[in-house]
Structure formats: C-alpha cells, structure tokens
Structure 1
Amino acid sequence: MGRKRKDFSDKFKLEVAKEALKKRAKEAEVAAKYSIAPSTLSEWMEQFLEGKLETDEQKALREENERLRAKQDEMLASLGKKQLEVDLLKKKLHLD
C-alpha cells in the first residue's frame, strides 16, 4: 500500500511561499517547519511568482469577472445587431 499524498489548499501554499520569499530563509528550513519537501516548496514559490496560486476568494472574484465579461460581450453583440437593424430600417425607409 502506497503513502497517501497530502493535499494542500492554494491558500496554504500561498502563505508558505510568501513566508519563504519574505524571510529569505533557506528553503529547507521553511520546508522543514511545514513538513514538506524542499522541492515542493520550490514548486510552490515558482507557482506564486507566476501568479498561479489563488485563494478561494481570488478564484471566486476571477470567475465572477469572467462571467461578467462574457455577459458584457453578449450584450455588446446584441446591441450591435440592434443597431444594424435600425440602420437597415432607416435605409429602407429613406430616413437617412
């Protein structure tokens, strides 16, 4: 039977990566403090620096932002169609 892999939240990874970067401590010391492998900490630090780690709140905000952008795109497309209809009707009725 293999070992069960620990699953850490992005929030935890984010905090540990920040601590390691802020304190400029040796990665091995920070990794030992949290009982994780130094290579795991290095990976988390890299993910943090690349902006790939998000808290649940950040994920929710990003998803809401994406939803709102999609809705905005949909509304703009609808507005464009309506404007085209108005322009065509004006042309047909010679109201230009």
Structure 2
Amino acid sequence: MSANVIIFHEAGDIAEVARQLQGKGQIVDSEGLAHISPYLTEHIRRFGEYSTLELGLQPEAYGPHLNVDFGPLRGDGPPVPRGYGQAA
C-alpha cells in the first residue's frame, strides 16, 4: 500500500510542475507528459528479486513421524491433589 501512496504523491507533484510550467507560458502537451511516469520501473524491483533456479528442484519426501518424546518432564507425572483418585 505504501508504494501506491508514493505513486499517487508523485503524480500530484508532476501535475503541479506541469501547471507551474503552463503558468510561465511553457507549452505542456500530452506527448511530453506521456514520457513522465510516477511509477518507475527501471532499476527498481518493487517486489524484490526472485530466483527461478529452485523451480526444478524436488523437495524431500515428507516424513509424518516426529521424533518427539511426550513423556513426563519431571518425575512420574503431575502431582495428584489429596482426595482425588482414592477409593471412598
């Protein structure tokens, strides 16, 4: 979104300069303005650089089994509060 705001601001600046030149008697025609763009495309990579070399690489097979120990962290398990788990 910030790129759109910058482009909008640049278009406003270009329009203001064109008005100032017309006010000084300069001829500002649509052909001349067609060569000016608020959206620069040379030397700017708006979305970054992306390599296409990785497109042909095959990923490793997915292994659904994780090597995780789900055992208790301390002792035999969580402490049992008094009164719970005891026969009446």
Using structure 2 for the length normalisation, give the TM-score: 0.30
Which of these two proteins has the greater Rg computed from alpha carbons?
Answer: 2
Using structure 1 for the length normalisation, give the TM-score: 0.28
Q: Which has the higher helix share?
A: 1
